[in-house]
Amino acid sequence: MLAQIDGDLITYPCAASCKENDPFDVAKYRMEEKLREILDTVQATEFKIFLSSNNFRKTLFQSYKANRDNLERPKHLEACREYLVYEWNAILKTPYEADDLLGIYQTDETILCSYDKDLRMIPGKHYNWNKKIFETVDLQTGLKHFYKQMLIGDSSDNIIGINGIGKVKADKIISPLNTEQEMFDTVYDLYTKHNIQDSFLMNGICLWILRNEEETWAHRLLDLTLPNPLQQQVEAALNSMKYLWDT
């Protein structure tokens, strides 16, 4: 089994756990301990570690994660990232986040190791090392998770959903639906009802984790029936993205 590991959730917590005067070796030890624990638990025969790079969402939408811009980064964070790259062969690829690389390289032969709730939209085997939980996500469950996130939003990434809709209400709205077109129509109608339809496409592009390189949520929408105003927004977004993959 090939373990795909969310390196962002290794480096940041281990760096942040260090006290002000702790040397880098403290963070290094904690990273190695966590990585070996994960690999032993999932009985991995191979592994890949992914780290975030400069990503297309931030390029397209300045508000994406803007709430983090003034936060102080842990002292050893860059050293942790470099260590994983040079000593553990961690992978970075512009313009993708670690989440995207985990989604792109997920197969029937891999297990995705992370405790990021957003990654539950990716079909396949999962291991949450914080909760010690194994799970298999099917395509339908993954789609429903995404559309629930569209309703709820993600305050940690500065993505505003629909006011008054939390996990319970989102589950009641999305769970009975069967097709992606039904999920899409239901969520878009609610955005329109709350007069926030202008943020619908941006939220979807930011929340959707890629399954193939250069294929965002805007590309996926080409397979759905869209209202005319949104169709025009999608076409404009796709045109604006063309330069991203060549930079």
The predicted-structure confidence for 143-192, as pLDDT tens digits, reads as follows 999 999 999 998 888 888 999 999 999 999 999 999 999 999 999 999 99
Q: Rounded CA gap, 47 and 197, in Å? A: 41
CA–CA distance from 218 to each of 138, 185, 194 (Å)?
Answer: 22, 15, 22
Phi-psi region of 174 (alpha: psi -120 to 50; beta: other; left: phi over 0): alpha
Token pair of 187 as six digits: 């969520």
- Domain regions of the chain by residue span: 2-137, 139-246
In tens digits, what is the pLDDT along the chain, a chain of 247 residues? 999 999 999 999 999 999 989 999 999 999 999 999 999 999 999 999 999 998 888 888 877 666 666 668 899 999 999 999 999 999 999 999 999 999 999 999 999 999 999 999 999 999 999 999 999 999 999 999 999 999 999 888 888 899 999 999 999 999 999 999 999 999 999 999 999 999 999 999 999 999 999 999 999 999 999 998 899 999 988 988 887 776 5
Whole-prediction pTM: 0.94
- Say if domain 2-137 classifies as CATH 3.40.50.1010: yes
Q: What is the pLDDT of residue 66?
A: 62
First to last CA, the chain: 34
